[in-house]
Copies of this chain bind each other. A is one copy, B any other.
Amino acid sequence: MAASNERIREVVEAYVDRVGNGTSAEVVALYAEGATVEDPVGADVLTTREQIATFYGNLDGLEQETSLVEARIGGGQAAFLFRISTKVGDQTFTMAPIDVMTFDDDGLITSMKAYWNADTDMTVT
């Protein structure tokens, strides 16, 4: 049976929380075997566990804060807007992607696609 909308919301909240406060391994643990990641949209799609682990591994050690802004969940799928800010020295890089995810019956993420644009959607303060 497909994961419930409640279960999917929990996973979305866990994802946003772990991207901000967790290790990359904790983020990757939310993904199903065989999952794909396209971030940002239009980039090469990551298709192996190793590629996905490397992608999130880039976040390890960064000082980040995340918050879920809006989530819409239906039909076993989710789209959500979240805010992520990264402190690098005196500067803070902030962006707010819209992520779209599909899930397996256990609520593990089977695909993630992040809509944002490095040219227009990042602010530095």
With CB as the reference atom, state the residue of chain B lying closest to A75: B42
Task: Name the distance in Å between A29's Cβ and chain B's nearest Cβ.
Answer: 25
Closest A-B pairs by Cβ, 4 of them: A42-B75, A79-B115, A72-B115, A79-B98
- Of A17-25, A55-63, A103-111, A116-124, the one touching chain B: A116-124
Determine if A14 is an interface residue (Cβ-Cβ < 8 Å).
no
- Selected contact of A70 from candidates B41, B96, B120, CB within 8 Å: B96
**Given A81-B98, A100-B115, 7 extra CB contacts under 8 A:** A5-B120, A41-B72, A42-B77, A72-B121, A73-B115, A79-B79, A81-B81
Q: Which A residues lie at the B interface, using CB under 8 A? A: 5, 40-43, 70, 72-81, 96-98, 100, 115-117, 119-121
12 A-B contacts (beta carbon < 8 Å):
A5-B119, A5-B120, A40-B75, A41-B79, A42-B74, A42-B75, A42-B76, A72-B98, A73-B115, A73-B117, A78-B115, A79-B98
